[in-house]
Amino acid sequence: MSMLNGGLDHKLELHILELKLRVTNIKKDAIGSYTHALIKIALLPHSCPKFFSFTETKGGYTVIVEDNLYSELPKGESIDVADPIWRVLTVSAGALGSHKLTGISKIVKTVISPLADNNISVLIISTYQSDYVLVKDFDLQTAIKCLSCNFKIFMETPSGLESIEVSIGDRMEGMLKKNDISDHRPIKHPLTCLHNRFHISSVDMQMVQTLMPIILDFMFYSSSKPKLAEGYEIFFHLSIVEGDITLVLDNESLSRFPSGSLHTSNSDECWRMLRIGDSPLGFEECGIVAQVSEPIADADISTYYICTFLFDHQMIPEGEISHALEILDSLKVS
């Protein structure tokens, strides 16, 4: 039994947010047609998305928005949508205490592995403050059952103002529960380690106004930028979750922000990024996150994770990247 998984009285809290999300992908050359709507959703003075995630990769723009704001996005052949509604689970940060690991390494054993074991496909969005696990609305009840042995589970009421504890009937019925993963899962998708060095940073809401021209430039105008060198890839991520803003930027991009305008968790440390997959991963396959994050967490390495419409992205502290690659290489399906 994991250290985190003590007696009933000490169980951690897992919250199911009152959010219904859409996961979309905007094609690379169509961003101009979506700028007006995306600014309205996320960046105007009265915009207050409860959950907004925007990630540019070489494959397009993954935009995750609340279902009620999704209607603002023009429909057409320039936008792809992952069919179902997605729900959001998060382990309250305070509950995890002063765990030395950061990012999803903290929740691999208690959340990510159990969901993988029970064939629930997830999308992960790590932020500066917390990690969000998205599951299909269709899978929510199964996810609740399967996590109920590790957590007291709370569901936000529709007002979003309070949470009520979810009562679970026969909580273990039919659930797989592997407490000890002695053998790691084989890694099924190719991994590509980008040459860029990344920072995971946050901005406070007041500062974000001042940074708006730079942020707009990064979000919508990368096509005017010079081509990147071999081995480098474009990756820009902005998330806004209940007023908390996270930016994931490489060194080059960070240097364009005024010094001191962003908070970085550890300003001396860069993160390296592994792209998982080289053909689109889809939304059905389970266990992809678990394959690459279990062995990293077991080696006591922190890891952030950002899923996009096509590929997954795992971030690892630069000082640990060689060690991490060794571990992951040994698990690759040959």
Q: What 3-state class would DSSP assign to 253?
A: helix
Query: Does the footprint of its own copies cover residue 200 (CB under 8 A)?
Result: no
Please tell me the count of residues contacting its own copies according to CB under 8 A: 25
Query: Does the footprint of its own copies cover residue 216 (CB under 8 A)?
Result: yes
Alpha carbons 150 and 313: distance in angstroms, whole number: 26
Of 210 and 267, the one with the shorter C-beta distance to its own copies is 210
Bridge partners (DSSP) listed for residue 91: 14
Of 30 and 193, the one with the shorter C-beta distance to its own copies is 30
In angstroms, give the least distance from the CB of 24 to its own copies: 17
Pick the stretch among 25-33, 183-191, 283-291, 316-324 that binds its own copies (CB under 8 A).
25-33
Query: Does the footprint of its own copies cover residue 217 (CB under 8 A)?
Result: yes
Alpha carbons 190 and 176: distance in angstroms, whole number: 28
Of 29 and 165, the one with the shorter C-beta distance to its own copies is 29
- CA nearest neighbour of 237 among 268, 273, 204: 273
Pick the stretch among 87-95, 108-116, 159-167, 217-225 that binds its own copies (CB under 8 A).
217-225
Of 44 and 164, the one with the shorter C-beta distance to its own copies is 44
Under 8 Å between Cβ of 65 and 73: yes
Alpha carbons 221 and 231: distance in angstroms, whole number: 21
In angstroms, give the least distance from the CB of 118 to its own copies: 43
Q: What 3-state class would DSSP assign to 44?
A: coil
Q: What 3-state class would DSSP assign to 305?
A: strand
Give the per-residue contact string, 38-67, with its own copies (x = CB under 8 A; - = no). Answer: -xx--xxxx---------------------
In angstroms, give the least distance from the CB of 333 to its own copies: 43
DSSP code at position 111: I
Sign of CA dihedral 98, 104, 105, 106: positive
Under 8 Å between Cβ of 144 and 95: no
Under 8 Å between Cβ of 273 and 194: yes
Of 20 and 40, the one with the shorter C-beta distance to its own copies is 40
Determine which residue in the list 61, 70, 220, 271 makes contact with its own copies, applying CB under 8 A. Answer: 220
Query: Does the footprint of its own copies cover residue 204 (CB under 8 A)?
Result: no
Question: Nearest 5°: phi and psi at 310?
Answer: -105, -45
Query: Does the footprint of its own copies cover residue 256 (CB under 8 A)?
Result: yes
Question: Which residues in this chain contact its own copies in the complex, by CB under 8 A?
Answer: 31-33, 35-37, 39-40, 43-46, 74, 209-214, 216-217, 220-221, 224, 256
